[in-house]
Structure 1
Amino acid sequence: MGLFSWLFGKKTATETATIEPIEYNGYLIYPEPQMEGGQFRIAGRICKKSNDITQTHHFIRSDILPSRTDAETFMLKKAQMFIDQTGDRMFK
């Protein structure tokens, strides 16, 4: 059954879990590490809602870490630094 799930893209419970955002300076950060070769790539989204419009910036780094928790922690720190450096320019 595992082979067919892999072939047809059946999602597991961990893949479909709802991600809770972290609020930082008016932005919402969604850590979404991507599994790659048994490790996790730092990835996620940075969102900001203004005037009933939600703007989203997808955030993917080259860093790969051994655990999902580490990748989420580092994504949060890198996203906060990115927000401090670029602000709303990230959406242009």
Structure 2
Amino acid sequence: MGFFSKLFGLDKEQKTIEVEPVEYEGYLIYPEPISEGGQFRIAGRICKEIDGEVKTHTFIRSDLLGSRQDAETFMLNKAKMFIKQNGEGMFGH
């Protein structure tokens, strides 16, 4: 069953991929595209330490792209724009 589960995408275990964050204006951006049907959904996290506590904003967009690299690049650009527009307000301050 293991072979068929993996073949048809039924394998419940997801491979964990270590993501190197990109620093931008004091924030750490973690691009974490989600594989879906041969494409990649744009997703990731934006983190920042505020008053000794690491705050995290996680997002998933509806956009699907053909490669992991394209999804990571798009996510980084969107995250930078989101940081410029919202700043620390994204964490609910």
Q: TM-score range by the shorter chain?
A: 0.7 to 0.9
Give the deviation of 1:34 after TM superposition. Answer: 0.6
Unmatched runs of 5 consecutive residues or more in structure 1: none
> After TM superposition, which residue ranges in structure 1, 4 or more long, deviate above 4 angstroms?
4-8
**1:68–1:84 CA distance, 2 compared to 1 (3 A):** same
Cα distance in 2, alignment partners of residues 8 and 73 from structure 1: 27
Report the AA paired with residue 10 of structure 1: E
User: 1:65-80 counterparts in 2 under 5 A?
Assistant: 65-80=65-80
- 2:83 counterpart residue number: 83
Q: Give a deviation string over 1:4-46, Cα, whole Å, max 9, x none.
A: 56655234xxx32211100000100000001112100100000
Cα distance in 1, alignment partners of residues 60 and 81 from structure 2: 14
- 1:59 counterpart residue number: 59
Report the AA paired with residue 13 of structure 2: K
Unmatched runs of 5 consecutive residues or more in structure 2: none
- 1:39 counterpart residue number: 39
Alignment of 1:24 onto 2:24: yes
Cα distance in 1, alignment partners of residues 72 and 17 from structure 2: 14
Task: Give the aligned CA root-mean-square deviation in angstroms.
Answer: 1.5
Cα distance in 1, alignment partners of residues 62 and 5 from structure 2: 30
- 1:10 counterpart residue number: 13
* Number of residue pairs aligned between Structure 1 and Structure 2: 89
Give the % identical residues.
Answer: 60
TM-score w.r.t. the length of structure 2 is 0.86
